[in-house]
């Protein structure tokens, strides 16, 4: 990106001053090096988002931002329904409620190392992964709608986990306002056999070691210690969420003009929040969110069962589950007035600071865990939300490293089998049904996650707590 197009506010804050049809500025939180490496499309997409009706404060990009569909991935924007604000399917993304959850095992690296290969093999057998992967659970029409309404609560009620898990999941495991009737039959059919599956792309199941504690007080509250082993699950709403996004993007593109919305880019297709189409999308999106929450809950059950057969002492307690492709109604202050806003986070993580009323009691005095996924051969991080982040970015932070290279380019540069062997040489065991998928997700195809997390910390969006490194990675 051309830095001359931006106004530098600090080492990690850059503005696109309002011009043309922009109603608010565009704000990028990133270091100079990260901004320079961002593709020019991020600049264009931030400007376009800033033109949408009812947008508040700014159009934001997180340190891991890169070109997406309509909104940049790593984009955040909030809209006021009372001012004609819109909801955009492109502002949520296709993998609705894709997110990360972390489980503590209660075991140390020394205890896990001797059983690492057995764990890799058993986890690979237990959790289906890859394009078109099918689970052992098949949902009929009634159970499909119950799942879309109940989310992780539905899963727990059917024996997939414990009620205590729900206190450590966003929305307590269930997003209210879901409307399964607005989810197409095609979307439901795509999901009927996919519950409890990882899918493909950047999704993964990892066994990780806590290698460094950067905030001892918060780490202790999160029960993280150096040398501990944890499990991370990164996946979303699978085929159902993708179909919901596809269905509504088409409808929004067709109907935008009937609402008097002039789109600078067709990919920004949207509808007024209070319109029938806007409400239909929100209902379907919330149902897809519940699908993702239920999916991660079922995978958690499968992971616990796999560990129990190899390491019965492992307790697999849930630390937290947080999504990063959502639109949520939240109370925020704008010009001294508290109002409900529809906050779109696409490839961005909610990061509530200490004392926020939406935090579960266990995190009320600490802040929300912010879970940052790595790239198979690089570190992941646990961060914590800050009070400053509320005003800086509607309490939002980065979600991962962010791609720096397309999947097509990655396949040209790397070979999956070679990567698997190289990572095994570093003590990282990869299990995947697709060597091509491994090549597409090569660590070198992503930004430097250390730089991304450092920028989020320096910008006050979230504070770094612990660094995790992979031991085993199950990939699609």
Active site amino acids? 399
d(CA 87, CA 227): 44
- CA-nearest of 409, 354, 348 to 384 is 354
d(CA 52, CA 267): 12
* CB of 446 closer than 8 Å to CB of 404: yes
Bridge partners for 207 per DSSP: 231, 472
- CA-nearest of 212, 235, 243 to 225 is 212
Q: Which residues contact 361 (CB under 8 A, 6 or more apart)?
A: 167
For residue 446, what is the DSSP state?
B
d(CA 119, CA 429): 10
Maximum distance among all Cα pairs of the chain, rounded to whole angstroms: 64
The DSSP annotation for 333-378 comes to EETTEEEEEEEEEES-EE-PPTT-TTS-GGGTTT--EEEE---SSS
Helix, strand, coil tally for the chain in percent (to 5): 40, 25, 35
* CB of 209 closer than 8 Å to CB of 109: yes
Return the SS3 of 270: strand
Characterize 124-155 residue by residue with b for buried, 16 or more Cβ atoms within 10 angstroms of its Cβ, and e for exposed. Answer: bebbbbbeebebebebeeeebbbbbbbbbbbb
d(CA 14, CA 27): 6
């Amino acid at each position: 990106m051309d830095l001359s197009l931006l106004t530098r506010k600090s080492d990690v804050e850059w503005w696109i001053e309002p011009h043309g049809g922009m109603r608010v500025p565009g704000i990028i939180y990133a270091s100079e090096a990260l901004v320079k490496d961002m593709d020019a499309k991020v600049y264009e997409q931030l400007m376009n988002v800033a033109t949408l009706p009812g947008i508040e404060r700014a159009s934001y990009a997180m340190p891991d931002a890169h070109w997406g569909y309509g909104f940049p991935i790593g984009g955040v924007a909030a809209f006021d329904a009372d001012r004609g604000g819109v909801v955009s399917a492109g502002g949520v993304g296709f993998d609705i409620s894709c997110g990360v959850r972390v489980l503590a095992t209660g075991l140390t690296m020394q205890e896990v190392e001797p059983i690492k290969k057995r764990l890799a093999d058993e986890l690979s057998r237990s959790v289906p992964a890859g394009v078109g992967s099918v689970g052992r659970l098949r949902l009929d029409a009634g159970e499909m709608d119950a799942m879309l309404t109940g989310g992780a609560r539905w899963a727990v009620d059917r024996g997939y986990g414990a009620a205590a898990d729900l206190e450590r999941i966003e929305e307590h495991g269930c997003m209210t306002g879901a409307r399964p009737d607005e989810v197409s039959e095609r979307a439901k059919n795509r999901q009927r056999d996919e519950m409890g599956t990882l899918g493909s792309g950047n999704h993964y199941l990892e066994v990780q070691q806590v290698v460094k504690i950067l905030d001892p007080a918060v780490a202790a509250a999160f029960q993280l210690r150096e040398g501990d082993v944890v499990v991370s699950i990164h996946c979303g709403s699978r085929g159902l969420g993708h179909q919901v996004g596809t269905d509504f993007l088409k409808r929004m593109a067709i109907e935008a003009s009937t609402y008097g919305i002039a789109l600078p880019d067709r990919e920004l297709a949207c509808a007024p929040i209070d319109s029938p189409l806007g409400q239909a999308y929100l209902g379907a999106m919330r149902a897809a969110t519940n699908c993702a929450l239920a999916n991660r809950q079922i995978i958690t059950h499968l992971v616990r069962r796999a560990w129990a057969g190899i390491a019965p002492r492992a307790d697999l307690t849930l630390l937290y589950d947080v999504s990063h492709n959502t639109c949520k109604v939240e109370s925020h202050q704008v010009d001294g007035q508290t109002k409900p806003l529809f906050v779109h986070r696409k490839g961005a993580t909610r990061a509530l600071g200490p004392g926020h009323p939406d935090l579960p009691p266990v995190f009320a005095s600490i802040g929300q865990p912010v879970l940052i996924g790595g790239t198979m051969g690089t570190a992941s991080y646990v961060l914590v939300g800050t009070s400053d982040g509320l005003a800086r970015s509607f309490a939002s932070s980065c979600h991962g490293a962010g791609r720096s290279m397309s999947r097509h380019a990655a396949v040209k540069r790397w070979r999956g089998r070679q990567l698997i062997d190289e990572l095994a040489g570093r003590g990282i065991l990869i299990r995947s049904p697709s060597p091509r998928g491994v090549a597409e997700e090569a660590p070198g195809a992503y930004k430097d996650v250390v730089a991304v997390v450092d920028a989020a910390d320096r910008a006050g969006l979230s504070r770094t707590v612990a660094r995790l490194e992979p031991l085993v990675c199950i990939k699609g």
